[in-house]
Amino acid sequence: MEVALNHTSHAGIEATAGLLRSTDLFAALEEQELALIGEASEYMDLDAGSVLFRPGSSGNHLYVIQSGEIVIRTELEAGSGREVARFIAGESFGELDLLTRAPRTAYAVAATDGRVVRFPAQDRDFEQVLHGRPEVSAQILFKLLGTVAGRLRSTNKLISDNTPWVRELRRQVFFDKLTGLYNAAYLKEQLVSLGRDPDAGFSLLMMKPDNFKEINDTYGHEAGDNTLRRLATIFGRAMKQQRTAIRYRGNELAALLPQESEQTAAALARDLGDTVRAMDISDCTGGVAVTVTVSFGIGCYPKHRLDTDSLVTDTHALLFQARAAGGDRILQLEAAS
């Protein structure tokens, strides 16, 4: 017989966010992102022997343990069947089923009295919670993927980056649909990795068209989208070897150039600027010849900034300084004093 659960009302957002922040799964999220997850979660008070889920039930939630222990086993009765896993305070479980929406294949039973957070709450839907928030979705999905992959590896069930569902998940999380380039979520994830090794260093190149608004306003948003796709194609083709092309936001593009200097980045910007000026978009503008010009910002880590967040913020600001100065130019950061 299944033991009843003692549900509390939706927990206070700050208290829930504090618990989530202490777990590896949610530690990388910003305050507003944690608040979103906290608002969509609920606490569950458990007595020893309480059943959180059983085989065949829907895998629509993951759980974070505040106190107590949860055991995953193939049979309901203790001592029978096989114990698959055991989780303690600060750990999470249920991530793989949430990702795949597959039915549960085992029992989750409270080994002791305790408390867990369920995300999303019983009356919420995972996709609806994240709908319209691509950066939050990307962070959560990437962490879920990493957690699941780590667990599978630890039990010798190796998962390959070429597994179809992994490829599809990465495509949805990290690629921009309009341009086919990586997105801002990918940039954020890569900066975490690159920032761990200041000795290696990298350059950040950002590009923004000067007259994109005029194209949109005069010839329509379809013309603007087609122009942006062509800019992205030109930009992407210039990214050889370890270089990475990214749609940062709106009509702004960015490139990570590992172990490349600002001089190399500036030469790349000059070549890109020349290619863009020669670009023909008359088929997008009803036969009208329009010359597109672009401005660039360049910043180097750690030469110009000692943390990657400041590098992105300050390099991005150069784009607007360049446009305010007339556009069609390249600006570089100066080393922080």
In a domain, 19, yes or no: yes
Query: Are 122 and 205 contained in the same domain?
Result: no
Among 94, 123, 146, residue at a domain's last position: 146
In the predicted structure, residue 253 carries a pLDDT above the cut 80: yes
Is residue 249 pLDDT above 80, yes or no? yes
If asked whether residues 116 and 215 sit together in one domain, one would say no
- The reply to whether 61 and 109 lie within a common domain is yes
Which structure tokens are listed for 308? 């990657």
165 domain-assigned: no
Q: How many domains is the chain partitioned into structurally?
A: 2
**Is residue 293 within 8 Å of residue 327, measured between CB atoms?**
yes
Are 142 and 254 found together in one domain?
no
Q: What is the pLDDT of residue 335?
A: 82
In a domain, 159, yes or no: no
pLDDT digits (tens, 9 = 90+) for 149-182: 555 555 444 445 555 555 666 666 788 889 999 9
Q: Looking at the structure, do residues 133 and 269 belong to the same domain, yes or no?
A: no
141 and 242 share one domain: no
CATH number of the CATH domain containing 41: 2.60.120.10
Residue that terminates a domain, selected from 124, 146, 168? 146
Is residue 158 in some structural domain?
Answer: no
Q: Do the domain assignments include residue 278?
A: yes
CA distances from 92 to 101, 116, 135, 220 (A): 17, 9, 22, 48
Provide the residue range defining the domain that includes 190.
184-332
Statement: residue 321 has pLDDT above 70: yes
Pair 205, 137 in one domain: no
Residue 300's CATH number: 3.30.70.270
pLDDT at residue 39 in the model? 83
120 lies in some domain:
yes
Same domain, residue pair 104 and 214? no
Q: What would the mean pLDDT of 79-92 be, rounded to a whole number?
A: 82
Strands of 107-110's sheet, edge to edge? 51-53, 107-110, 70-73, 83-87
Domain membership of residue 156 (yes or no) is no
Determine, yes or no, domain membership for 163: no
pLDDT of residue 164: 58
209 and 131 both lie in a single domain: no
Mean pLDDT of the chain: 84
Chosen domain end from 120, 146, 172: 146
Task: Return the higher-pLDDT residue of 277 and 140.
Answer: 277
- pLDDT tens readout for residues 28-78: 677 777 777 788 888 899 999 999 999 999 888 889 898 999 999 988 876
Describe the crossing of helices 164-174 and 134-154 by its angle, rounded to 10 degrees.
150
Residue 195 shares a structural domain with residue 327: yes
Kindly compute the dihedral angle of the four CA atoms of residues 135, 137, 138, 144, in this order, to the nearest 10 degrees.
150
Residue 36 shares a structural domain with residue 113: yes
- Hey, CA dihedral for 163, 168, 174, 177, is it positive or negative? positive
Q: Are residues 208 and 293 in the same domain?
A: yes
Question: Residues for the chain: how many in total?
Answer: 337
Which range has the worst mean pLDDT, 120-129, 201-210, 251-260? 120-129
| Average pLDDT of the segment spanning 124-146 | 70
Count other C-beta atoms under 10 Å from residue 182's C-beta. Answer: 23
Q: Identify the pLDDT of residue 62.
A: 86
- Cis peptide upstream of residue 302 (ω within 30 degrees of 0): yes
